[in-house]
């Protein structure tokens, strides 16, 4: 039987992902968002899914859950990437919403800057709050060096920040293409 924390974590993460999906589909069904935003949500999911699967299958314990019993409730090679990619997709959409609220034209380089700053801010928040508490990146992989340590001694590695620095660039390009070629 899995440790209660594992069941709570897995249930919460799964419920949150399903809730995000229901919210996006509900917003689309009620015509609050048009199909371009729904398409971008799907593209954001696919972008996030690529790195979530890469984390799941990476050798040398690239990332490992702090509580191994989580895997009993939440298979890291199947369900975990899907759930986290849904969260990533929602974060991409929130970055797009931020650009809209700041009244920055999407084709402006400033839109990309806002999305990149948003992405890096999310990475800092997620890694600072969760690395060491829920997961831990191996500090012994030369391709993923520790870039800083906090007072708790936990090493914060390069890859999570690179993902959230470059993924918004890809998402921004997708957004430009979707808004240019897809009708509302």
**Residue 154, C-beta contacts closer than 8 angstroms, at least 6 positions apart:** 131, 132, 136
User: What is the secondary structure of 41-71 as a DSSP string?
Assistant: HHHHHHHHHHHHHHHHH-STTSEEESSTTHH
Domain count, the chain: 1
- Reading the block at residue 88, the tokens are 């990533």
Question: Quick one: which of 144, 147, 166, 158 has its CA closest to 50?
Answer: 166
Confidence grade of residue 75 (pLDDT, cut at 50, 70, 90): low
Secondary-structure breakdown of the chain: helix, strand, coil percentages, each rounded to the nearest 5: 65, 10, 25
pTM over 0.85: yes
Tell me the residue range of the domain where 18 lies.
4-181
How far is the C-alpha of 42 from the C-alpha of 34, rounded, in Å?
A: 13
pLDDT tens digits along 10-57 = 778 889 999 999 999 999 999 999 999 999 999 999 999 999 888 888
pLDDT tens digits along 145-175 = 999 888 778 889 999 999 999 999 999 999 9
């Amino acid at each position: 039987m899995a440790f209660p924390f594992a069941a709570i974590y897995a249930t919460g993460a799964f419920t949150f992902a399903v809730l995000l999906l229901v919210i996006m589909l509900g917003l689309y069904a009620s015509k609050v968002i048009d199909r371009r935003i729904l398409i971008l949500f799907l593209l954001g999911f696919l972008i996030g899914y690529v790195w979530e699967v890469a984390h799941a299958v990476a050798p040398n314990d690239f990332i490992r859950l702090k509580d191994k019993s989580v895997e009993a409730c939440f298979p890291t090679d199947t369900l975990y990437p899907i759930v986290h990619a849904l969260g990533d997709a929602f974060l991409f959409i929130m970055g797009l919403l931020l650009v809209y609220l700041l009244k920055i034209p999407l084709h402006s380089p400033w839109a990309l800057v806002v999305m990149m700053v948003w992405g890096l801010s999310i990475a800092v928040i997620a890694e600072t709050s969760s690395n060491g508490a829920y997961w831990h990146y191996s500090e012994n992989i030369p391709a993923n060096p520790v870039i800083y340590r906090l007072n708790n001694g936990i090493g914060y590695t390069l890859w999570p920040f690179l993902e959230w620095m470059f993924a918004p660039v890809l998402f921004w390009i997708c957004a430009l293409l979707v808004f240019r070629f897809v009708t509302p």
